Amino acid sequence: MKNNKLRELGILGVRLLAGGMMLTHGISKIGRLLGEGPVEFADPFGLGPEISLILAIFSEFLCAILIMIGFKTRLATIPLMITMLVAAFYAHGDDPFGEKELSLVYFTAYLGILILGGGKYSFDWYLETLKKQ
CA angle 36, 48, 71 (to 5 degrees): 85
| pLDDT tens per residue across span 68-90 | 999 999 999 999 999 999 999 99
pLDDT value for 132: 86
Q: At 36, is the secondary structure helix, strand, or coil?
A: coil
Domain ranges of the chain: 4-132
Looking at per-residue confidence, does 3 or 58 come out higher? Answer: 58
Measure the CA–CA gap between 36 and 87, rounded to whole angstroms: 24
Model-level pTM? 0.91
Question: What's the chain's length in residues?
Answer: 133
pLDDT band at 133 (very low <50, low <70, confident <90, very high): confident
